[in-house]
Structure 1
Amino acid sequence: MALTTYDNDPEGWLAQAIDSVLTQSFSDFALLIVINGPVAASKTSMLLKFAEQDERIIVAQNGHNEGLAACMNQAIEWMLGYDNYQFFVRMDADDICHPERLLKQYNFMQLHKKVAILGTALTEINEAGQKVGSRVMPASNNVIVRMLPRRCTLNHPTVMMRREVFCQGHRYDSQLMNTQDYFLWIELAAAGYEFRNLRERLLEFRRVNDFYKRRGLAKSVNEFKARFQAMRRLHRFTVFNVAYACSVLMLRLMPAQVIKLAYKLDRVLLEKLIRH
């Protein structure tokens, strides 16, 4: 499992994230923590203490912030250096794993050998750890791929991927500072890899107050580009998909309160669509 942390990640949240991994019912894993750039000495000390107490933890540090995609690629290269690691798993430094997360994903992958990328649903929590929402994605490969021109259909912090995906040369685009996962899913879907999502909420995702302000113009434009790339690579150019991409771009540029309302409506509509 790969976890990337930055200087602005609260130490309490980071400790919760690590504890949620160490207390998994599935115990045969390594947790690679990548410190992405300079951080407070107290945080480094805390991480090294975790590593001293549990040999499954490996701590690495970059001299400067290289971006999430570059960090994930570094973690992938590290994993490929050891033959015993068959799956690549990730989470964010402020998230919390359900105790059964790894076991349930591992068991599913063992039973479904054709599935290469497996995500799960998640629960959204606020700064105080209170539930504020959820995000359930489509379960079947056909729907996941069909919807890619309109949305990123996997919750990135929940994914488990087979080693073979990376042995065959696929990586995150390190030139991107955001939406790296969306572009990777499009690349893998075009290459014919099979996706699935578990309906169970196996991760608590931290949705903080500035969540609706984070996207900015650069992220919105990258999402717009990703949608058109999905249409091109997956041969899904339709009037509806094009109109959807344009309308979402315009929505992203509106005030945060409008985006917040649209986000909540989107969650409701997505869950209803998946149920039917």
Structure 2
Amino acid sequence: MFDLNESNKVGVLMSVMGQENVTYCESAIASVLEQDFQGEVVLYLVVDGMPSGGIKDLFDKLAGRPDVVVLYSDGSRLGLAARLNQLIDLALMDREIAYLARMDSDDFSLPSRFERQVQYLLANPTVDVVGTGVIEVDANDRELSYKVMDESDELLKKHIVRKCPFNHPTVMFRRRVFDDGARYDCSLMNTQDYYLWVELCAKEYVFANLPDLLLRFRIGNNFYKKRGWRKALNDFRAKLFAMRRLKKTGLVNCFYAFSILLLRLSPRWLQVFAYRYLRKGVERV
């Protein structure tokens, strides 16, 4: 049961691409607003870019709900990091919000997600960020694989150079992380989450993951196209940054960073094979 003396209000941050698939977006929003959760949920929405007619209609329909806050933009493309920071600042204005959760506009949170994460944070007061496992699905909602991350703070930080510690759309933060000034790096167009994890690791915030599969993570038809050479170089720079920032410039980490760079620059069929079959912590369906 929840501690009645502590606020359990969750603010959920969702940035939506202007041309997002309306069906996916509507499903993602419904999965947030229809949680089996005893506390209060407020969804914070913003569009990045010029919204399609369908997205605009969806936002207009939601704007009057008491559990939804819509931040209207001017149609410009600022990127995910800048939009998330805007939503963080907006959510922190509500002093009753105790936790901030991430959600992507084409994924689907299972009904028990927030209940499980808040219960965990209440039972583990030293933990600052908790993620979950995911069910990876294709564009037609067919299940492809399961991705479960390391659970303990020790293992997550031990392996942080070699792999991202969280499935980003699943994370829930205590508000103190952002009250202390943490934000996404707006200069980055991707890997923003990884840089944030490295900074939080350097500042000794405590990480954890639940093994539960609490989010359906969509791998669309263009998922692998997004993981091209630019993203590969950005990921490589991110690993170098992590090694310097966390003083983890060992031979194994350096070898791994270069190996991943070469793999990411390899033919697409090899990248697909590696993503689906070689990642630690992933089980095929």
Per the TM superposition, whether the score is higher than 0.5 is yes
Distance 1:169 1:50 in 2: 30
| Residue 55 in structure 1 maps to residue 66 in structure 2 | yes
Distance 1:70 1:167 in 2: 17
Q: Percent identity?
A: 37
Q: Select between 216-225 and 119-128 the one with higher mean Cα deviation.
A: 216-225
Alignment of 1:167-246 (within 5 A): 167-246=179-258
Contact kept in structure 2, 1:37 and 1:61, CA below 8 Å = no
Alignment of 1:7-22 (within 5 A): 7-22=18-33
Distance 2:259 2:89 in 1: 38
CA deviation map 1:151-176 (0-9, x unaligned): 11100000001111111111100000
CA deviation map 1:42-65 (0-9, x unaligned): 32112221333x310111122201
Cα deviation for residue 228 of structure 1 reads 1.6
Distance 1:12 1:270 in 2: 30
Secondary structure of 1:119's partner?
A: strand
Q: Which amino acid aligns with 1:61?
A: Y
Q: Select between 144-153 and 21-30 the one with higher mean Cα deviation.
A: 21-30
Secondary structure of 2:50's partner?
A: coil
| Residue 137 in structure 1 maps to residue 153 in structure 2 | no
Gaps of 5+ in 2: 1-11
Secondary structure of 1:49's partner?
A: helix
> Would you say how many aligned residue pairs link Structure 1 and Structure 2?
270
Q: Select between 141-150 and 39-48 the one with higher mean Cα deviation.
A: 39-48
Q: Which amino acid aligns with 1:177?
A: M
1:83 aligned residue:
95
Distance 2:140 2:190 in 1: 26
| Residue 2 in structure 1 maps to residue 13 in structure 2 | yes
Secondary structure of 1:246's partner?
A: helix
Contact kept in structure 1, 2:15 and 2:104, CA below 8 Å = yes
Secondary structure of 1:86's partner?
A: strand
Cα deviation for residue 229 of structure 1 reads 1.8
User: TM-score if structure 1 supplies the norm length?
Assistant: 0.94
Secondary structure of 1:211's partner?
A: coil
Q: Which amino acid aligns with 1:104?
A: R
CA deviation map 1:44-87 (0-9, x unaligned): 112221333x3101111222011000011001101121111111
Cα deviation for residue 40 of structure 1 reads 1.4
| Residue 100 in structure 1 maps to residue 112 in structure 2 | yes
1:265 aligned residue:
277
| Residue 45 in structure 1 maps to residue 34 in structure 2 | no
Cα deviation for residue 139 of structure 1 reads 0.2
Secondary structure of 2:35's partner?
A: coil
Secondary structure of 2:103's partner?
A: strand
Alignment of 1:111-122 (within 5 A): 111-122=123-134
Contact kept in structure 2, 1:4 and 1:36, CA below 8 Å = yes
Gaps of 5+ in 1: none
Distance 2:206 2:215 in 1: 22
Cα deviation for residue 12 of structure 1 reads 0.5
Q: Which amino acid aligns with 1:14?
A: C
Secondary structure of 1:199's partner?
A: strand
Of 235, 242, 254, the match for 2:266: 254
Contact kept in structure 1, 2:128 and 2:207, CA below 8 Å = yes
User: TM-score if structure 2 supplies the norm length?
Assistant: 0.92
Alignment of 1:15-30 (within 5 A): 15-26=26-37, 27-30=39-42
Q: Which amino acid aligns with 2:132?
A: T
Distance 1:37 1:250 in 2: 33
